[in-house]
Chain A
Amino acid sequence: MVNRRDFFSYMFFSAVPAVLGPRRLKARPSQKQGLPRLEYLTAREYGIISRISKEIIPSEPVLSGKVDIGLNIDRFIAKNQSEDFVIMLRYLRLISLADPLVPLIRPFMPGIEDDLLSLKRVICFVGYYGDANGEGDMSPGDRIIWPEIGFGGPKPDGWFPDDSEPQLDPARLPDLIGGGR
């Protein structure tokens, strides 16, 4: 038996995006003054991503505009067509519709804020931490995001592994439990 909460939950996350987000997203990117030239996203989608990215990833490069997550995603999707991104953009539309309605929806779906946050995170992280940030094609010296977290990126041509992986020193890994079973 489907209860009211399950019904609304199912409707919201399955039916609503299906109705509100056309499957093939026919819209073409429209150029707007003051925005970079877009190859895949519409100005509205670019605007939503830019807005939520400052909220999700308020790092200096994002806030200063040195890293433009919306533009990264635009360039990346244009080169990497995938059904995943069509679904992702449907959810982007859902985010923009649901955000102002959260207080109304919350009584039926207590997890709505977590779910929306989770979708926002997935989208923004693609354009920041994921290779959609373009840093895989940059020389290590030109990268901004990956060096900040200590990630070395793809292995360069001619790279060869050492004979052995670096070995941890057990003495520096204190047993906080002790004993055993």
Chain B
Amino acid sequence: MIITADQITQSRVLADIDFAIIGSGAAGGVLAYYLSKAGYKVVVLEKGAYYPPEYLGMREVAMWTKILSPTTFQPTHGKHTRVSLLMGQCYGGGTVASESVTWKLPDPVLQDWADMGLKSFSPGNPRNAAYHDELYRLLEVRPVEDKHHNQNNQLLKLACQREGIEWGSVDRPCSFCMRCGFCTQGCRYELKNDTPTTFLKWANEHGADCYTGCEVTNIRVNYEDEDDFPMRERLKARGESSKDELKRQIQARRKNFNGYKFTITAEVSDRRETLSRGGDPERFGLTVKARQVIVSAGALASPRILLKSRINGGGRVGKRFTLHPTAFTVAIFPKDVIIDCFEGINDTVECTHYAYFNRDKDYYDPERHGFYIEAAGSLPWGIANLLPGSGKDHLDLMRRYRNMGGMEVAIKSDSYGEITENEVRYDISDADNERLIFGNKLVAKLFFHVGAKVLYPSLPGVVIRSPHEIDRLENRVNGKRIGFKTKQSHLHSGHPFGGNVMGTDRTNSVVDETCEMHDIKGLHVCDASAFPTTIGVNCCLSIMFLARKTADHILEKIKGA
């Protein structure tokens, strides 16, 4: 069942928990379902609040403050760039707050991961295809019908056709959609198959409990097992007699804690409560004694939970953080061309010609390509922020809202940064900058293919009024080609990855390919923070895929033991 903070009136201790899952998003929901279905006692701890469907949707800023984490004013810190981060933080996490564009984890990415030694990710492994197919079936994923592309998406489709490049209708987990235009505010109609309407609901039916408004403050490891590092090294180095003694000590400690290797402490508070200024909501303690823990709080929160808990074997947690930097372009069309980019489903057409999964095509240049283009509209507050300037000029631009189209370029970054407890350090690489320049030039070209009058890219001060001015996107300052490597460029991302990356070597990764920590057995990290690279497509289903795969590994391991 869903336990909201207002139902908690005193501190609680939950014992006899087989799996404590931290986070209820794409990974947490899937894991909760498969593990509870297998008969295990599962508890899900979600920091965000639970909003029933009738509470969701159709309020741009109000929902932004409720279902997204408060990172809007806290972009990444880089020497050259700042990237605003959008992350879900509510019951269902990012699956509630996203458009749910659904892509299978592309084979070239799976191959890259297999080449890193993560053999089970090999595209030839039939289980991977089976997991993807199963998720597609359960989530009722299907392509958006041609007649349901809104006018903004029709622009991208027509422009790609005129340019002669690859485009496609995206898949979405929705058998029927009201097309109300407020997808990212949460589906009020309960038609989008996010985790609350699917995996979490089914997990609840199998006895899993989910505490919302529940912020994990610490994960304590109660005892060290034989397979934990450095215990396993100590055991290896010992002679037979002292090895037995050490094992006896481990057994005794295990018995002391009744086999609950982990104790999680959390604070539960009602995040929906309206408070007087400066007031803190009432908080109650929640203690969870669990045999195994799965951290699935997303690529920003998961590394931080481990760091806060002083679980940072070898200083590897938080490292190799990356994302898909994304740049938006607004185009204004003639007054008689009504686009209404805020109506209908926002992102149903994507241009994938230069996407990473096309890397084997003869035209693909790895130095400049590796991005996809989405048709992207925005609600009034968002579009107002995307348009330049202020005062009367800005007012005049806003009066053309109905004539505006939008596209955004999301690049597969090859740059890595780091997450600390307080900040996210990340900068785009030179190649990323080239991808952004090339991708945004292509966007400009696509808009002119369909008659746009003026373009406002994510580079302040740059306005493009004709195809001859497209080179302005190189953003030359004193002859130097700056492109998007400036803190004044407006980059954002809803796709962060890494920080707890998978790998075969414990000296340069946090978890193994089953998402179990190298150093602490029974502690898993399963979400986009485990991804060793960016993936170059929308990531919701890929995270679910990893969770589905991890659930099987965990169950097989228990069965084997």
Contact = CB atoms under 8 A, between A and B. Distances in A.
A12 B70 CA distance: 20
Interface in A128-162: 128-132, 136, 146, 148-152, 154-155, 159-161
B162 A80 contact: no
Interface in B314-370: 333, 336-340, 342-344
Nearest to B82: A13
Interface string B126-166: 00000000000000000000011111001100100011110
A129 B381 contact: yes
Interface stretch (B292-300, B395-403, B499-507): B395-403
Interface in B459-507: 460, 466-467, 487-488
Interface in B423-471: 423, 445, 448-452, 460, 466-467
B277 A165 contact: no
A101 interface: no
A122 B392 CA distance: 16
A64 interface: no
Interface string B32-65: 0000000000000000000000000111111011
Contacts, number: 183
B448 A26 contact: no
Chain B CB within 10 Å, residue with most, of A6, A10, A131 = A131
A9 B79 CA distance: 10
Interface stretch (B98-106, B178-186, B537-545, B550-558): B178-186
Contact of A83 (B70, B399, B450): B70
B390 A126 contact: no
B34 to A, nearest CB: 33
A17 B322 CA distance: 27
Contact of B384 (A27, A129, A154, A161): A129
A6 B390 contact: no
B380 A151 contact: yes
A144 B192 CA distance: 32
Contacts of A176: 448-449, 451-452, 466-467
A163 B147 contact: yes
Most buried by B among A14, A29, A81, A163: A81
Interface stretch (B8-16, B251-259, B268-276, B304-312): B268-276
Given A82-B65, A148-B399, A154-B58, A58 B391 contact: yes
Q: How large is the interface on B (under 10, 10 to 19, 20 to 34, 35 or more residues)?
A: 35 or more
A24 interface: yes
Contacts of A91: 73
A83 B147 CA distance: 41
B249 interface: no
B402 A57 contact: no
B65 A84 contact: yes
B289 interface: no
Nearest to B57: A154
A166 B153 CA distance: 11
Contact of A84 (B70, B155, B278, B395): B70
Interface of A: 6, 9-10, 14, 24-29, 40, 55-59, 76, 78-85, 87-88, 91, 111, 114-115, 117, 120-122, 125-126, 128-132, 136, 146, 148-152, 154-155, 159-161, 163-168, 170, 172-177, 180-181
Interface of B: 57-62, 64-66, 70, 72-74, 77, 79, 147-151, 154-155, 158, 162-165, 178-182, 271, 273-278, 280, 333, 336-340, 342-344, 379-381, 383-385, 390-392, 394-395, 398-399, 401-402, 423, 445, 448-452, 460, 466-467, 487-488
